[in-house]
């Protein structure tokens, strides 16, 4: 079997078209323009690329966008001041502080101080708690994007054995929680593997749907999966540079080997990546609707 490729690029394009229409309607019917503020502290090159993509997509879809670039030496106090200012700005419906922050800053404290109503990343404990009890306002963007990839590719999650590799707060824990809810596009039996798991292959070989966010290239090889599995590869590893100096990306899954056994698989790049930004846009539209009392 050679796997069908699940194109995040194509599915993201579809969702962006839908959002563009919704944003135009909000403007026309309610004179409401959803506003997103991004905050980047320091000069991490990957973070600069991500924030640039978020800003570009906001503008393409017709959102109001503000970008705040702060020096790496920014104090905790000044960063919190910026967050509080954005919390109180009515033009801004969503606030995104790009992670990771420089080491001297307290990430948890910053995330706690974002108004949960403006937490379009879905990282505030209030929003994670609401997700866990099945009453979410905002789903974290990468896990929500993964769920949409599955749903829009016609992959059955109801009753499926889902195995997640990785237990991060950004991907592993929230995707496990999303897929175990008793809801359409979920209702799966979920196992989460991590660095403390004794025999990862014993779990991954049982998976109908395998979601890999391990942060390590080739963490999953063909011998670790069963025929017909659906594989979602969340990894973004920079494994080298082209002659022109552009980063060469690889996922966490040995794509060439695993695609011969899988029924469907996401590529890297062009899989989960474009979905994350798209779901951020979706959350920003939702934040504006909530703020205006439209939901």
Binding residues for ligand GUN, per CB under 6 A? 96-99, 121, 141-142, 170, 276
Q: Which one is catalytic: 22, 118, 121, 147?
A: 121
How long is the chain? Answer: 295
Hey, which residues does 189 pair with through a beta bridge? 161
Pick 207 or 281: Cβ nearer ligand GUN: 281
Q: How far is the CB of 273 from ligand GUN (least distance, A)?
A: 10
Question: Is 54 part of the annotated catalytic residue set?
Answer: yes
Question: Is 223 part of the annotated catalytic residue set?
Answer: no
Q: How far is the CB of 253 from ligand GUN (least distance, A)?
A: 19
Q: How far is the CB of 149 from ligand GUN (least distance, A)?
A: 16
Rounded CA separation 288/291 (Å):
5
Cβ-closest residue to ligand GUN? 99
Task: Confirm if 76 and 48 have CB atoms less than 8 A apart.
Answer: no
Pick 127 or 142: Cβ nearer ligand GUN: 142
Q: How far is the CB of 99 from ligand GUN (least distance, A)?
A: 4
Pick 6 or 97: Cβ nearer ligand GUN: 97
Can you tell me whether residue 28 is helix, strand or coil? Answer: helix
Pairing of strands 237-241, 247-250: antiparallel
Task: Confirm if 268 and 234 have CB atoms less than 8 A apart.
Answer: no
Q: Which one is catalytic: 98, 119, 148, 208?
A: 98
Question: Is 121 part of the annotated catalytic residue set?
Answer: yes
- DSSP labels, 181-243: SSSTT---EEEEE-TT-S-HHHHHTT-SEEEE--SSTTSB-GGGS-TT-EEEE---EEEEE-T
Pick 249 or 292: Cβ nearer ligand GUN: 249
* Residues annotated catalytic, as ranges: 54, 98, 121
């Amino acid at each position: 079997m050679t796997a069908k490729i699940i194109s995040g690029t194509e599915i993201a394009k579809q969702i962006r078209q839908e959002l563009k229409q919704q944003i135009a309607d909000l403007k026309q019917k309610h004179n409401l323009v959803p506003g997103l503020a991004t905050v980047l502290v320091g000069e991490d090159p990957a973070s600069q690329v991500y924030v640039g993509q978020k800003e570009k997509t906001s503008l393409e879809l017709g959102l109001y966008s503000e970008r705040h670039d702060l020096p790496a030496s920014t104090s905790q106090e000044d960063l919190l001041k910026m967050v509080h200012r954005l919390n109180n700005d009515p033009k801004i419906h969503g606030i995104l502080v790009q992670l990771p922050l420089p080491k001297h800053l307290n990430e948890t404290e910053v995330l706690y101080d974002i108004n949960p109503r403006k937490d379009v990343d879905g990282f505030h404990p209030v929003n994670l708690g609401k997700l866990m009890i099945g009453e979410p306002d905002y789903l974290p963007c990468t896990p929500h994007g993964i769920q949409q990839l599955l749903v829009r590719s016609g992959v059955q999650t109801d009753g499926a054995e889902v195995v997640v590799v990785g237990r991060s707060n950004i991907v592993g824990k929230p995707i496990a929680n999303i897929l175990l809810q008793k809801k359409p596009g979920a209702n799966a039996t979920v196992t989460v593997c991590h660095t403390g798991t004794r025999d990862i292959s014993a779990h991954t070989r049982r998976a109908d749907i395998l979601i890999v966010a391990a942060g390590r290239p080739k963490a999953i090889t063909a011998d670790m999966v069963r025929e017909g599995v659906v594989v979602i590869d969340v990894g973004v590893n920079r494994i080298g540079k082209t002659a022109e100096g552009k980063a060469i990306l690889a996922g966490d899954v040995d794509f060439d080997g695993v695609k011969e056994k899988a029924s469907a698989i996401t590529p890297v790049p062009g899989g989960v990546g474009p979905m994350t930004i798209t779901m951020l846009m979706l959350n920003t539209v939702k934040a504006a609707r909530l703020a205006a009392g439209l939901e």
